[in-house]
């Protein structure tokens, strides 16, 4: 039986020329609801084109804190993990815009000057699932129908610990 990871690699079979080069954002959480918004800075290795993808998401957040809040700026360290992978051979910037879903985790420990976070952005997410924001099982199955995904890690300032699954929109 194929695992979720196997199915994901089969669906997102193609490296695109796009990579995340940096990011900036703000997030907040209250009880089990989280929200995140910001900017993703991208570069196309084929054309040298540099673009910005603005995004927001609201959904479920799980962690040990009853409230959380954090922010990052483009000057703070962040880095994309490899190329953005696509379900089709050639991805344009417009393919990355529209409904999306963010799967993220973060931790701000008292021994570090900055918190650390990692996020996977599923871009070109099915419109109905992104707007519905329904059951987690429905969203997870929808991840395998997105157009592309990319991952980024970075530092942030604030108090935040946990994981989030946030349907949203990127433009």
pLDDT digits (tens, 9 = 90+) for 117-147: 999 999 987 765 545 555 566 566 667 788 9
What pTM was estimated for this model as a whole?
0.89
Q: Which DSSP letter does residue 136 get?
A: H
pLDDT at 57 over 70: yes
Helix or strand or coil: residue 69?
Answer: strand
Average pLDDT, the chain: 88
Query: Among residues of the chain, what percentage have pLDDT more than 90?
Result: 66
Distance, in Å, from the CA atom of 37 to the CA atom of 128, rounded to the nearest integer, reads 20
CA separation, residue 136 to residues 3, 97, 118, 131, 156 (Å) = 17, 22, 19, 13, 26
Helix or strand or coil: residue 117?
Answer: strand
Contact 154, 108 (CB under 8 A): no
């Amino acid at each position: 039986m194929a695992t979720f990871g196997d199915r994901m690699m089969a669906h997102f079979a193609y490296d695109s020329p796009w990579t995340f080069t940096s990011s900036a954002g703000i997030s907040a959480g209250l009880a089990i609801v989280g929200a995140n918004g910001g900017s993703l800075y991208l570069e196309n290795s084929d054309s040298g084109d540099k673009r910005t993808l603005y995004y927001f998401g609201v959904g479920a957040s799980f962690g040990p804190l009853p409230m959380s809040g954090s922010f990052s700026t483009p000057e703070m360290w962040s880095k994309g993990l490899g190329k953005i992978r696509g379900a089709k051979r050639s991805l344009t910037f417009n393919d990355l815009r529209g409904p999306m879903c963010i799967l993220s985790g973060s931790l701000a420990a008292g021994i570090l000057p900055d918190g650390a976070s990692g996020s996977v952005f599923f871009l070109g997410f099915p419109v109905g699932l992104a707007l519905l924001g329904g059951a987690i099982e429905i969203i997870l199955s929808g991840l395998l129908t997105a157009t592309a995904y990319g991952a980024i890690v970075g530092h942030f300032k604030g108090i935040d610990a946990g994981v989030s699954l946030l349907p949203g929109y990127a433009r």
